[in-house]
A and B are shown apart, each in its own frame.
Chain A
């Protein structure tokens, strides 16, 4: 082998290893930033939620002198939104067993996917809600480890909580939108598999109150 060829091989090899390292660092930083965003949003969400609750109380206590233009939902099932720095937040998703707490936005878009979980399907609480998030550590990587007995808690902007029980896990191909959303389970969570071509899907049922 010629000396120059060996040199090219060695430099190319090192370059590829360096690229791999860069990608790892990039992913870790992205994950950390997302974690930071979600913590900030959660804190602001709590403040906004308090404002909403104060407004709600004001309205119900004295309907003749409403000083806030809060429009209360006529149907209890309607999903309420709080605007936090431009992100339309509908609530907080919590999975205690994997120590995860994420704000949930009413819709999804690339700009709203880091630091948030996103409501992918469902317009009312009576619908089957499908929530998605990235598959990294600070988001839904933990979905892979959920097992029977695990619970998921969703808290909306009025502090109404719903608790869900793990019901099953499945892998759905990325093109199979119908299978994902046409379900009788009240809550579904999903994220990408490592190759990105399928989605790890967790189905949940509403927990029975003791």
Chain B
């Protein structure tokens, strides 16, 4: 499904809402408004690459952002200029590029920057960096459920394997099937850590990941027919090749075994019951009725006493 980001960039990637598990390069950290490149990317700096940021609404974030470029089959060759609130990308060769932003916990909230991916076809693109503010609780879990796109139950595989990665490192693999209603919750995650999901599917199937709320994702599985637009440069549709040459050094809180021990009740409930779509009106008459009774009783008691 095509998606428009800020009305400008259209992307179609299997994991456009989660950070990729493949090659993710840690470019450096911001000092003030300028990115200080890590040793591995000094060369890019020498070639004129400059990344700056400006005018974040939350100054706490401004000082602590880190910056990543994800390679999706192409070298991360980009040159950047800045204007207020915008980064203008001028990739030097056509290809598929991705930019990943950091996640930062401040107080009870986590600022999560959306991963942005775009195809570059000899055109300069620009888009706004925009953080999503979510609660720490939501950032500590990844709820996943499968949605079969036009695949009847009889044609679906018996089960599929879902893996949780943190930038190249496999943390956990979970089987999804009818028993868990094709859903699962990875819990006790580090809210500041970048994670990625990958599905292993039989030949003929592919998937994409879509965010449907804070920490909630839908894995859309579809057939890889000739007419399917998603076959375009989809590095993961063929199976489970995972590169682990990430140089990101973040740490996971707790052991990997602690992650996702229980199936998510909320997701199960979603399948069994129609969603609640009402406002809380029913207590109003009850409260009024009970309130009036008590009030009248007190008045009646007073009158009786007077009599």
Chain A residues close to B by CB (< 8 Å):
1, 5-7, 9-10, 12-20, 23-24, 26-27, 30-31, 47-48, 50-52, 55, 66-75, 78-83, 86, 88, 106-113, 120, 123-124, 132-136, 139-140, 172, 174-177, 180, 190-196, 199
Contacts and interface: CB of A to CB of B under 8 A. Distances in A.
Nearest to A193: B278
Contact of A20 (B3, B276, B284): B284
Given A72-B2, A75-B227, A199 B277 contact: yes
Nearest to A172: B274
A173 to B, nearest CB: 8
A52 B5 CA distance: 10
B228 interface: yes
B288 A17 contact: yes
B275 interface: yes
B274 A199 contact: yes
19 contacts: A10-B295, A10-B298, A16-B290, A26-B280, A27-B280, A47-B7, A52-B7, A66-B121, A68-B123, A69-B118, A71-B10, A78-B1, A83-B3, A86-B114, A106-B1, A107-B212, A108-B212, A123-B147, A194-B282
B278 A134 contact: yes
A30 B278 CA distance: 12
Interface in B211-226: 211-214, 216, 218
Interface in B1-52: 1-12
Nearest to A28: B279
A120 B284 CA distance: 29
Interface stretch (B70-78, B184-192, B299-307): B299-307
B229 interface: yes
B100 to A, nearest CB: 17
Given A71-B229, A111-B214, A174 B282 contact: no
Give the most central of A17, A134, A190: most B CB within 10 Å: A17
A125 B184 CA distance: 28
B249 interface: no
Interface residues of B, number: 64
Interface string B135-158: 000000000000101100000000
B287 A23 contact: yes
A5 to B, nearest CB: 7
Nearest to B293: A13
A88 B7 contact: no
A10 B294 contact: yes
**Secondary structure of the A side of the interface?**
mixed
A174 B211 CA distance: 26
Given A20-B291, A75-B227, A123-B147, A80 B1 contact: yes
B262 interface: no
B277 to A, nearest CB: 4
A124 B301 contact: no
Contacts of A195: 282
Given A20-B288, A69-B10, A192 B277 contact: yes
Task: For the complex of A and B, list the 3 residue pairs with the smallest distance between their C-beta atoms, beginning with the closest.
Answer: A16-B291, A13-B294, A192-B278
A198 B210 CA distance: 30
A175 B295 contact: no
B68 to A, nearest CB: 20
Contacts of B288: 16-17, 20
A13 B275 contact: no
Given A13-B294, A20-B287, A71-B2, A113 B10 contact: no
A18 B278 CA distance: 22
Interface in B234-281: 271-281
Nearest to A16: B291
Contacts of A27: 279-281
B277 A113 contact: yes
A135 B274 CA distance: 14
A109 B216 contact: yes
Given A13-B295, A67-B123, A177-B272, A133 B277 contact: yes
A182 to B, nearest CB: 13
Given A66-B121, A111-B213, A81 B2 contact: yes
Contacts of B287: 16-17, 19-20, 23
A23 B283 contact: yes
B274 A177 contact: yes
B203 interface: no
Contact of B278 (A123, A176, A180, A196): A196
